[in-house]
Amino acid sequence: MEWHDEGLIIGMRKHGETSAILEVMTRAHGRHLGLVKGGRAKRMQPVLQAGNSIRLVWRARLDEHLGFYAVEATDLRAAQLMATKASLQGLNLLTALLRLLAERDPHMGLYDAALFVADRLTDTKLGPALLARFELALLVELGFGLDLSCCAATGTTADLVYVSPKSGRAVSRLAGEPYRERLLPLPAFLRDDSDDMPSRAEVRDAFILTAFFLTRDVFGPRGQAMPDAHAAYLAALPKDAG
């Protein structure tokens, strides 16, 4: 069996003395692993780094086998992403989120979104907003999407500033005022397509929101905690980011 695809490297581990097992988010074949013969050679080290984009060929005798990868670099962005603590932690968070997807289950839209985010993680103004939106998109892809279209109590689409932790639905300021201590914040940038950069406080609120639902609906049932990179990314952002 053989297929050709493009992918974003999300992990690599040593195998034997000279080879490596590469974990790639591919466009058409989902999160997929494969063995790279000679993957630990010095010439391959700059290529087989998380955050890099590659063209790849996968070959195996049977579909259920691990198989072998032949890879060719197309965008070596890893070095740039590792240059600052914020972009490195952003990359760590992005790869941890992609590992939530079932192996070999295609998610083309999410793959395209992941590439878009990876290309902008060095931008501390834009990157945090994109990562928060990516987490919302991931929740949708996993079947736990939030309904931010209208108020759960009144049906209005105006002044939506809260989210119910029980239903995952938006709540307006007026309807939510008596219960605001029990509701989650809903930053405006998560609902609109404005080019305005969110403030640091809005970014923090967005990550509080996504972390709650990711922990409750995704990581928790798997017996896992939120990745350390989630909090570390926020902590690494410049104080004036957003």
pLDDT in tens, 36-79: 999 999 999 999 999 999 999 999 999 889 999 999 999 999 99
Buried b (16+ CB within 10 A) or exposed e, 183-199: bbbbbebbeeeeeebbe
Chain mean position to CA 88: 13
Q: Distance (Å, rounded) from C-alpha 55 to C-alpha 8?
A: 9
Instruction: Please report, for the chain, the start and end positions of each structural domain, with discontinuous segments joined by +.
Output: 2-76, 81-148+186-236
What is the C-alpha separation between 146 and 112, in angstroms, rounded?
21
With a cut of 60, say whether residue 242 has pLDDT above it: no
Q: How confident is the model at residue 240 (pLDDT cuts 50, 70, 90)?
A: low
pTM of the model: 0.94
CATH number, domain 2-76, options 3.40.50.1220, 3.30.70.1140, 2.40.50.140, 2.60.40.10:
2.40.50.140
Q: From CA 142, how far away is CA 134, in angstroms rounded?
A: 12
| 134-154 pLDDT, tens digit each | 999 999 999 999 999 999 999
